[in-house]
Amino acid sequence: MEGSTLITGLYVFMLAAFVGYMVIRQVPPLLHTPLMAATNAISGISLVGSLVAAGAHYNQVSTILGFIAVICATANIVGGFYITDRMLKMFKRGKEVKK
């Protein structure tokens, strides 16, 4: 029984990764930066889910996959905030006048 749940879990993981890649690939480059706020929120949700998966101790594979998901979601959140910060710096004026 445990083997079938492992296969099902890996199938869902691979399918989600493929669908996510195909969805992001279809977004034009001009829209990537405005979508960062939404993707940061989604990455925050996936970070919480991956922390639950990593800490649930169902079996060793789920703990390892959960740990990998924690690393990926954290990198996605940090990268998203970095890109958003760079975008916001583009809209600032040269030197602001101090009063």
Domain boundaries of the chain, sorted by first residue: 2-90
Q: Which residue has the higher pLDDT, 89 or 28?
A: 89
pLDDT tens-place string over residues 40-86: 777 788 888 888 888 888 889 888 988 998 998 899 888 878 877 88
pLDDT of residue 26: 79
pLDDT value, residue 15: 92
pLDDT band at 99 (very low <50, low <70, confident <90, very high): low
| Rounded Cα–Cα distance for residues 81 and 50 (Å) | 20
Residue 57 — left, alpha, or beta (φ > 0 → left; ψ -120 to 50 → alpha)? left
